[in-house]
Structure 1
């Protein structure tokens, strides 16, 4: 058997309890910038949702209540400041096995939501994620456009001393990852992705694993030295609940492939 085959590990063998510890070594400090504010998000084709933020708790309401999965409730949240006027809040809904990463672009009065839910079947759990746009305080104006600006880039990402990855963004909706150091060393896959442009060289990057119930949602900043921040969510099979870790990473742009589409 080759050395590569001996070192290969299936991606579904690393559960969140093994993967997540240490991923938060470079997480950004939490901000209280949203505390004391109420942000009303107006979506296309669904009722507005009003989020009222306190220091560590967010409460939300929506009308009519029958049109949304959780019309009223509260949960712990954590927010980070990405840039001035640009905040990201992570809300973990343990009662419904779901999770929201909400990007608040306060200057342009718009928001971007990555909503992930763990769906139970007769014998398995599946992850389902959607990306929603909303206007803040009114209808949607400027959109978060899908982007191809990550395509061709090869970046090494460090989440701290125990987690080191290689990412290659090969298509607008596919990327390849390879674990170099940490629990996922010797593992890799090509996964479905979605990328939206937030600002100049600033992107929302979200992906789902094919082999295990998992979603990652990161804000990638390529202004200067690459860095990222966001959250990972997965299914904890022992606790039978959704699991979350808030993460940060620094990156190195190893190289970039420029595609000449005229030759295709």
Structure 2
């Protein structure tokens, strides 16, 4: 009888990924720049970038804040900006895909569940017709420095990854496999690393950003976890972050960068 692999919290996962991680550099390209994001839902939010801090403010004066941020780029003219902000006393994960060439953006707003929301059993959630994961993610689109008009953001849901089996090497010690099942779910397993032997099928979302470049977001149900990455199939790289509670007390968040060298193992072609 083999030993059952143990689930770990996101803080322990971050510690496992850290040594010799293949993370992309935190760029200073945006320092000194100011962008006003015009959301399709009517929001207008100004973002002022300094070397390490990002200050944001709603155009109507209803809210403002300042946070440290990480900015990376897997393609020229595209930036992934990630930070945490306070909202009614809780931290919200914010990931922005800034598409400078198209003056467009996609924002992913992630919210971790409370302890009470996590305690519900999966069977009960399934019977009630709800999602099995308690992690929430909202996807918002808009224009950069110009008024929003319909169709201004080219980022769109995609099934291009369906059938792909990909290998992701995040460090010399952390290796994962992903199998993209359909537009709603993917399966993962840890081949090497602190989660070795663990596997699951979780809720996911895929948006095509550019040719062979995809925004992939997943929401795990066992350990509440949000993943946001850009997958560049042309250059065999991925970059983004993983966010979740640092420990089991549902207190501090761990929001750490993940980048990989990735490759396609095979593609399954399904009969029509």
TM-score for the superposition, normalised by structure 2:
0.86
**Consecutive unaligned residues in structure 1, runs of 5 or more:** none
Say whether the 8 Å CA contact 1:98–1:242 is kept in structure 2.
Answer: no
Q: Is the 8 A contact 2:135 2:221 kept in 1?
A: no
Give the corresponding residue for 2:30.
34
Match of 1:233 among 233, 239, 243: 243
* 1:124 positional shift: 4.6
Distance 1:122 1:164 in 2: 32
Which runs of structure 2 are paired with 1:78-157 in the superposition (5 Å)? 78-93=70-85, 96-120=90-114, 122=116, 124=118, 126-138=134-146, 139-140=148-149, 141-157=152-168
**Partner of 2:268 in structure 1?**
257
> In structure 2, what is the equivalent of residue 217 of structure 1?
228
Q: Is residue 38 of structure 2 the alignment partner of residue 46 of structure 1?
A: no
Give, in whole Å, the separation in 2 of the partners of 1:127 and 1:93: 17
Residue 165 (structure 1) shift: 0.7
Partner in structure 1 of residue 128 of structure 2: none
The correspondence of residues 180-195 of structure 1 with structure 2, limited to 5 A, is 180-195=191-206
- Shift in CA distance, 157/210, structure 1 to aligned 2, threshold 3 Å: same
The 8 Å contact of residues 205 and 217 in structure 1, kept in 2 or not, is answered as yes
Q: After the TM superposition, which of the residue ranges 233-242 and 176-185 deviates more from structure 2?
A: 233-242
Q: CA deviation at 1:55?
A: 0.5
For the residue of structure 2 that corresponds to 1:14, the secondary structure is coil
List alignment gaps of at least 5 residues for structure 2: 120-133
The answer as to 2:69 corresponding to 1:77 is: yes
Evaluate the alpha carbon distance shift between residue 107 and residue 212 of structure 1 in structure 2; reply closer, same or farther with a 3 A threshold. same
SS at match of 2:27: coil
Backbone CA RMSD of aligned residues: 1.9
CA contact (8 A) 2:74 2:237 kept: no
Q: Which runs of 4+ in 1 moved over 6 A?
A: none
CA change 1:123–1:214 in 2 (3 A) is: closer
Tell me if structure 1 keeps the 8 A contact 2:11–2:245.
no
Q: In structure 1, what is the Cα distance between the partners aligned to 2:225 and 2:184?
A: 17
**For the Cα contact (< 8 Å) 1:23–1:248, is it kept in 2?**
no
Deviation at 1:44, TM superposition (A): 1.8
2:56 to 53, 60, 70: 60
**CA distance in structure 2 between the aligned counterparts of 1:172 and 1:123, rounded to whole angstroms:** 25
TM-score, normalised via structure 1 length: 0.88
